[in-house]
Amino acid sequence: MMIVQHLSGGYGGGRAVDDISFEVCVGERVGIIGPNGAGKSTLLKAIVGLLPHHGSISIQGAPCRQSHTMVGYVPQYEAIDWNFPVTVWDVVMMGRARQIGYLLPPRKRDRQAVRGALQRVGMWSLRNRQIGELSGGQRRRVFVARALAQEASVLLLDEPFSGIDAQAEADIFQVLDVLREDQIAVLLATHNLAQAATHYDKLLMLNQGRMIAYGPPAEIYTPENLAATFGDRIMLWHEGKQYVMVADEPCHECEEREAL
């Protein structure tokens, strides 16, 4: 279990996220949703230790600063230089850096961890391929494998579905299903609101760095919480278990058709 209590942090002494508290249980999949600039990426970076922060984070009872190898992080697609000449195997081996040590060669255990991680995400057959030669979905899976290679029990993903097609998205969800079976918790920032309602155990709703709500989608996807998070132009339609989010904007074209 990961427990976050009163977490605040940001850039240059400011607070891009403020006083956020929540818990993620073993194997849970949690989606972070909110408008642009809400603090989704900042929250993930603060948890993994890439930004200074106040508050406490513990994983399986240990302070996060003592268990950083237990948190895997997959950054946004745009934050990575895909032209860097490195193979899939090399990228995933980077996830073992803390275990290997500075300037030391990988051991048998490290190679086994990398192999296992690549097999779990279905990328073992492409281990010798240059990272820049892969598709967008394949690249995402490689970086998930890198996080898994460090034997993380919590995985943080920042917008992993951005810029990929429906098949690549489905492939990543298959990987996430495997992680659930392996009891690995996933915290994932996403812009897909309809998907968030149906593919996650819990949602964390953010706006202007503050947590609006946290819990199962069926409980927190209310008109009040949606308005507080996204403004009054977001509506929720519910048909069985299917949620659909639409912008509540006037359709001038429709009005013209009605007039005709």
What are the residue boundaries of the structural domains of the chain, listed by start? 2-259
> What secondary structure letter does DSSP report for 130?
B
Give 216's pLDDT tier (boundaries 50, 70, 90): very high
Is the pLDDT reported for residue 42 higher than 70?
yes
- If one counts every other C-beta atom within 10 angstroms of the C-beta of residue 76, the result is 15
| Alpha carbon of residue 28 to chain centroid | 12
Average pLDDT over every residue of 30-41: 94
The CA distance from 227 to 238, in Å, is 16
Give kind and range of the element (H or E) at residue 42: helix 40-48
Rg of the chain, C-alpha, whole Å: 20
Is the pLDDT reported for residue 238 higher than 80?
no
Is-contact 179 122, C-beta < 8 A?
A: no
Average pLDDT over every residue of 158-186: 92
Is the pLDDT reported for residue 243 higher than 70?
no
Is the pLDDT reported for residue 250 higher than 50?
no
Is the pLDDT reported for residue 251 higher than 60?
no
Average pLDDT over every residue of 160-174: 90
Is-contact 91 142, C-beta < 8 A?
A: yes
Tokens at 236, concatenated: 């929720």
Record the pTM: 0.86
Average pLDDT over every residue of 20-39: 96
Give 122's pLDDT tier (boundaries 50, 70, 90): very high
What superfamily in CATH does domain 2-259 come from? P-loop containing nucleotide triphosphate hydrolases (3.40.50.300)
